[in-house]
Amino acid sequence: MKNTSIRLGAGLLMLCLAAQGSAQYVYPAKGQSAEQQKKDDYECHTWAVGQTGVDPSKGTSQAAAPAPAPAPSGGRVRGAAAGAVVAGIADEDVGKGAAVGAVAGGVAQRSQRRQQARAQNEQASASQQQGSAAYQKAKAACLEGRGYTVK
């Protein structure tokens, strides 16, 4: 019964690692017992977290908060001003030109905010992937130092 629960625990650990996309296979190359492997795995996890500052068991809620968005009316005001100027030069209705310019400015501003948000998300994702890789490398180094083969 005891060996079954240890194997079940090890299986669940492997599933969790596989779900994170970075399965790590550990083999007790020096004949370590299942209890010793479990103890070493925990200690190496703790050590890797201390070395990297990354704890995969805490999830992905460590993403950086997005920067505050600029004032919503800036693009519309600039667009309205430009539209009024263009309409005035073309001897058209300045009010209509300002309205068209305001709409165009608002659309451009929303597009810019979407691009900034996309760039921030990509940067956060890349940072998270680098942290996860550093954690896996540190944990593998610890386990290898304790006589395990890690792939």
Domain that residue 119 falls in:
1-151
Number of domains within the chain: 1
Closest CA to 125 of 64, 56, 51, 69: 64
Task: Say what the pTM is.
Answer: 0.52
How would you classify residue 71: left for phi > 0, otherwise alpha for psi between -120 and 50, otherwise beta?
beta
Strand partners, 149: 27
Q: What is the pLDDT of residues 1-31, one digit of tens each?
A: 555 454 444 444 444 444 445 688 999 999 9
Distance between the two ends of the chain, CA-based, in angstroms? 29
pLDDT for 1 equals 53
